[in-house]
Amino acid sequence: MKKFFSIFGTVLLILVALALIFNEPIKEYAVSRISDYHLSSLTSSKVKKNEKKDGEFNFQKVKPLTATQVAKASVSNDAAVIGKMAVPSVGLYLPIVKGLSDDSLSTGGGTMKKDEKMGQNNYALAGHYMTNKGALFSPLENSQIGDKAYITNMKRVYTYKIFYKKIVPPTAVYLLDDTKGQKLLTLITCADGGTNRWAIQATLVSSVPANKATLSVFSK
């Protein structure tokens, strides 16, 4: 019986991958479904459990989002989700996932530094770009200076205001550095077909307890 389920899982993975390879809209739909599942099922207890898991933080291992990667994430649902993020002005609502593994970046925004904490220093997230109106971090291309960005660990809700948006080279890692006295949110995704990066930065403007009212900003 165990062997049967192993074979069945492999066949299912192959079929999903083939569907995604030949249909980009299906691929984007699958990614959106993965994100929506984690957004709707996240609780503070799950966050606490996932925060204890190890993450992958090697930038060099991050590769373009593939159909196989999405198919695997669709079947496994193994991403360590530790929060939610939202930029309502551009319709971005995603899970925050620990690290930059394939599962993480197929699910939402991945934390870029091992020990970063919400509401402190420079909280940096990376995400894949699909199309200008697609899933994951794609909508950030349409964000504007002054837009609000929100993150939560299901205990507190942090509100940030975007003050910086620019296309930068992949070598601009200084944007991830902590700056004394500043509490920032940095969002990174691909630009120019992957040659460069969109870098969006926002400054913390408020922090409030998470409850039904304050968490409503993460609902589509």
Give the model's pLDDT for residue 77: 67
Residues with catalytic annotation? 128, 190
Q: Whose CA is closest to 131, among 71, 190, 69, 74?
A: 190
What is the number of structural domains in the chain?
Answer: 1
Give the model's pLDDT for residue 3: 47
In order along its 220 residues, the chain shows pLDDT tens digits of: 444 345 555 555 555 555 544 466 777 888 888 999 999 999 999 999 999 998 888 877 888 777 778 777 777 767 899 999 999 999 999 999 999 988 899 899 999 999 899 999 999 999 999 875 678 999 999 999 999 999 999 999 999 999 999 999 999 999 999 989 999 999 999 998 889 999 999 999 999 999 999 999 999 8
Calpha distance 78→171 (Å, rounded): 30
Sequence-ordered list of residues with C-beta below 8 angstroms from that of 130, at least 6 positions apart, any chain: 27, 28, 31, 65, 136, 138
Which residues make beta-bridge pairs with 187? 125, 200
The domain of 10 spans 2-218
The CATH number of residue 8's host domain is: 2.40.260.10
Distance of CA 58 to the CA centre of its chain: 16
Stated pTM of the model: 0.86
Residue 136 φ/ψ region, left for φ over 0, alpha for ψ in the -120 to 50 degree band, beta for the rest: left
2 class by beta-carbon count within 10 Å (0-12 exposed, 13-18 middle, 19+ buried): exposed
